[in-house]
Amino acid sequence: MATYSFNTTGSITYFPDNISASQAVTWSITQSHPGTSYFTLETLPNQNGQYDTGSTKSTSGSFTYDSGIVNIVKDDYKMGAVVKQGGGNLYFIPAVPITGSNLRVRGVGGRLSYGTLLDRWPNAAAAYSLRLLNSYYEGPAVRVRRSVDNEETNIGFNPVELDTTALTNFATNAGTALPADYGNGPEIGYSLRYIESTYSGPVIRVRRDSDNSEANFTPSEITDGTLEAWVGVGNNGFVTTWYNQAKDSKHATQSTATKQPKIYDSNTGLVTTNGKPAISFDGSIPTYLLHTWATGSTGATVFETFSTSDTQWILHGNSILYFPIAEPSSAATSEDNAGITQWYKNSVAQSIANRGNVSSVYATGTSLVASYLLTANLSSQNNIALGNMGDFSGGYAFTGTVQESIWYLGNQTSNRTDIESNINNYYNIFPFDAYVTTWYDQSGNGNNAVQSTAANQPQIVSSGSVITENGKAGIQFGYQIGFSATITLSQPISTFSVAQNSNVSGGMVYDRGSTGDRSYLYFNSDWKIYSGLQVGSYNQTQSQSVFSVLHYGSNSYLYVNANQEIQQDAGTQGLNNLSIGTNNYGGAYLDGKIQELILYSSDQSSNRTGIETNINDFYKIY
SS3 228: helix
Query: How high does pLDDT run on average in the chain?
Result: 85
CA 99 vs. chain centroid, Å, equals: 43
What is the percent of the chain where pLDDT is above 70? 79
CB 577 within 8 A of CB 484: yes
pLDDT of residue 181: 86
pLDDT of residue 92: 64
CA–CA gap between residue 446 and residue 424 (Å, rounded)? 38
State yes or no: pLDDT of 307 exceeds 60.
Answer: yes
Query: Which neighbouring-strand residues pair with 549?
Result: 495, 558
Q: Which residue has the higher pLDDT, 579 or 49?
A: 579
pLDDT of residue 337: 79
State yes or no: pLDDT of 168 exceeds 90.
Answer: yes
CB 407 within 8 A of CB 302: yes
SS3 427: helix
Cα distances from 69 to residues 33, 113, 487, in angstroms, run: 15, 12, 39
CB 420 within 8 A of CB 413: no
Query: Which neighbouring-strand residues pair with 79?
Result: 41, 74
Torsions phi, psi for 71 (to 5 deg):
-70, 130
Q: Find the Cα–Cα–Cα–Cα dihedral 421, 423, 428, 430, rounded to 10°.
A: -50
pLDDT of residue 74: 47
CA–CA gap between residue 550 and residue 603 (Å, rounded)? 7
CA–CA gap between residue 300 and residue 408 (Å, rounded)? 5
For 112-135, letters b (16+ CB in 10 Å) and e give bebbbbbbbbeebbbbbbbbbbbb
What is the percent of the chain where pLDDT is above 90? 57
* Closest listed residue to residue 579, CA positions, set 470, 487, 459: 487
SS3 316: strand
Peptide bond into 159 cis (omega under 30): yes
- Quickly count: other Cβ atoms within 10 Å of residue 349's Cβ: 10
Q: Which residue has the higher pLDDT, 299 or 468?
A: 468
Predicted confidence band at 405 (pLDDT cuts at 50, 70, 90)?
A: very high
* Closest listed residue to residue 180, CA positions, set 298, 301, 95: 301
One-character DSSP codes across 39-55: EEEEE---TTS---TT-
State yes or no: pLDDT of 599 exceeds 50.
Answer: yes
Strand ranges (E), 347-394 = 348-349, 368-377, 384-386
Q: What is the sign of the dihedral through the CA atoms of 578, 584, 586 and 592?
A: negative
Q: Which residues are within 8 A (CB) of 360 and not within 5 positions of it... i.e. 6 or more apart?
A: none
Q: Which residues are within 8 A (CB) of 563 and not within 5 positions of it... i.e. 6 or more apart?
A: none
Condensed to tens digits (0 to 9), the pLDDT of residues 434-467 reads 999 999 999 999 999 999 999 999 999 998 899 9
pLDDT of residue 543: 94
pTM over 0.85: no
DSSP state of 314: E
Q: What is the sign of the dihedral through the CA atoms of 372, 376, 382 and 383?
A: negative
State yes or no: pLDDT of 112 exceeds 50.
Answer: no
* Closest listed residue to residue 324, CA positions, set 291, 282, 372: 372
Query: Which neighbouring-strand residues pair with 326?
Result: 313
Mean local confidence (pLDDT), 401-423? 91
Q: Which of 335-339, 418-422, 498-502 has the lowest mean pLDDT?
A: 335-339
Mean local confidence (pLDDT), 114-133? 88
CB 498 within 8 A of CB 549: no
Domains along the chain with CATH numbers: 2-112 (2.60.40), 126-147+436-619 (2.60.120.200), 179-427 (2.60.120.200)
* Closest listed residue to residue 112, CA positions, set 141, 77, 76, 70: 70
pLDDT of residue 487: 95
SS3 237: strand
SS3 85: strand
CB 470 within 8 A of CB 620: yes
DSSP element (H, E) containing 419: helix 416-427
pLDDT of residue 376: 79
CA–CA gap between residue 402 and residue 263 (Å, rounded)? 10
Secondary-structure percent of the chain, ordered helix, strand, coil, rounded to 5: 10, 40, 50
Torsions phi, psi for 237 (to 5 deg):
-120, 130
Condensed to tens digits (0 to 9), the pLDDT of residues 223-238 reads 999 999 999 999 999 9
State yes or no: pLDDT of 9 exceeds 70.
Answer: no
Peptide bond into 261 cis (omega under 30): no
pLDDT of residue 91: 62
Strand ranges (E), 554-600 = 557-560, 563-567, 575-580, 592-600
CB 240 within 8 A of CB 227: no
Condensed to tens digits (0 to 9), the pLDDT of residues 349-385 reads 999 988 999 999 999 999 999 999 988 777 667 778 9
Q: Which of 87-101, 245-259, 558-572 has the lowest mean pLDDT?
A: 87-101
Condensed to tens digits (0 to 9), the pLDDT of residues 47-86 reads 444 445 555 555 544 333 334 444 444 444 555 555 555 5
CB 596 within 8 A of CB 142: no
